[in-house]
């Protein structure tokens, strides 16, 4: 998720000065339209696509690995908190040695 935020911030830092410079070359009404479309097309839409790719990649890890049932697994960051590593479908940080079941959640 940090990768999505980082690249979104890089796009913002590059695009906003360009939009500000563009303001002196086009009319105010046209500038708003160009600004909104360029912000969506350069910042928002790529961030959504990138997030969906990461979500799809991590879906298997969250649903189908032994890590997802461990108390040390943080589902929101897809990380093993004990070993501070990201598990994948092929890689389990502790090789199952430090696995302990999650405590049942109360309703």
pLDDT in tens, 20-71: 999 999 988 899 999 999 999 999 999 999 999 988 888 888 888 888 888 8
Kindly state whether residues 74 and 59 are assigned to the same domain. Answer: no
Query: Sign of the C-alpha dihedral, residues 76, 40, 45, 4?
Result: negative
Kindly state whether residues 55 and 72 are assigned to the same domain. Answer: no
- Residue 107 is predicted with a pLDDT of 64
> Could you give the CA distance from residue 82 to residue 94 in angstroms, rounded to a whole number?
9
Q: Please give the share of the chain, as a percent, with pLDDT higher than 90.
A: 40
Kindly state whether residues 21 and 48 are assigned to the same domain. Answer: yes
pLDDT of 80 > 80? The answer is yes
Kindly state whether residues 35 and 80 are assigned to the same domain. Answer: no
Domain around 16:
2-64
Kindly state whether residues 30 and 46 are assigned to the same domain. Answer: yes
Kindly state whether residues 49 and 78 are assigned to the same domain. Answer: no
The mean per-residue pLDDT over the stretch 7-22 comes to 95
Per-residue pLDDT band for 99 (boundaries 50, 70, 90) equals confident
**Residues 29, 72 contacting (CB under 8 angstroms):** no
Kindly state whether residues 59 and 8 are assigned to the same domain. Answer: yes
Kindly state whether residues 15 and 60 are assigned to the same domain. Answer: yes
């Amino acid at each position: 998720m940090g990768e999505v935020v980082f690249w979104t911030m890089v796009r913002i830092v590059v695009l906003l000065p360009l939009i500000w410079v563009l303001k002196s070359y086009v009319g105010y009404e046209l500038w708003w339209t160009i600004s909104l479309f360029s912000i969506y097309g350069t910042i928002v839409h790529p961030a959504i696509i990138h997030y969906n790719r990461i979500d799809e990649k991590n879906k298997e890890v969250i649903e189908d690995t032994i890590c997802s049932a461990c108390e040390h697994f943080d589902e929101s960051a897809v990380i093993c908190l004990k070993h501070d590593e990201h598990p994948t479908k092929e890689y389990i940080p502790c090789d199952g040695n430090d696995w302990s079941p999650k405590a049942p959640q109360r309703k």
